[in-house]
Amino acid sequence: MTNEKAHTDTIDSTLAERRKIETTVYQPAEDSALLADAIHEQGRGRLLEVGTGSGWVATTTAADVDAVTEIVASDLNPHACHAAAQRAASSDDTTTPVSVIQGDLLTPFDANSFETVAFNPPYLPTDPDVEWDDWMEHALSGGPSGREVIEPFIDSLNRVLAPDGIGLVLVSSLAGYEEVIRYIETAGFEHSVVIEESYPFETLSVLTLRQQ
């Protein structure tokens, strides 16, 4: 078996496994923990978490990160919004307010609204012939390139950031790390790696993006 074939089979297997386990709401995984760790290091002020899923990152941040003063958690998926709101309401450890808004990426939000914007985007490259057109497909699939969600996010990020605000975005090597970096630079952002972990078939990195 070639490396490319093994790589493709791994992606397809991951999609299938996550699809069987989770039918409506993305649950915390390794990428969620990395984003939470990056927020712990660099998050501050009013924070937006895009694609909150179950709300685990948002409520963990509310409990653990004193520099974050308010959290808005958003998701396109109404089931995820319900789960995140329930998690926030039931947490005894959160003193930082957490609100949940349903919306597509950064569309619902006003300009210059957040000191920190965090996003763990769907990044698995997916053949259109094997997509399911359900909520888990929205949570996992980055389209054929793996970049069909992260690119429009980057395009809109500058608008919602407050002066001196930062973006924290998770990037998988499966989506083409160098291609994402070029897109970030073309959009006018400086970038640095906050945290990075390698796994057998991918490397996950959380980058800080700053307006130039």
Condensed to tens digits (0 to 9), the pLDDT of residues 36-92 reads 999 999 999 999 999 999 999 999 999 999 999 999 999 999 999 999 999 999 887
pLDDT at 5 over 60: no
The average pLDDT across 8-37 equals 67
In this structure, CATH architecture of domain 3-211: 3-Layer(aba) Sandwich (3.40)
d(CA 95, CA 71): 11
Structure-model confidence comparison of residues 109 and 24, the more confident one = 109
**How much is the pTM?**
0.86
Residue closest to 52 by CA, chosen among 2, 100, 1, 5: 100
* Neighbour tally for 90: CB within 10 Å: 9
pLDDT score, position 132? 55
- 50 Cβ neighbours under 8 A, 6+ residues apart: 74, 75, 105, 106, 117, 118, 119, 121, 153
- Distance (Å, rounded) from C-alpha 40 to C-alpha 162? 19
Task: Read off the pLDDT band of 13 (50, 70, 90).
Answer: very low
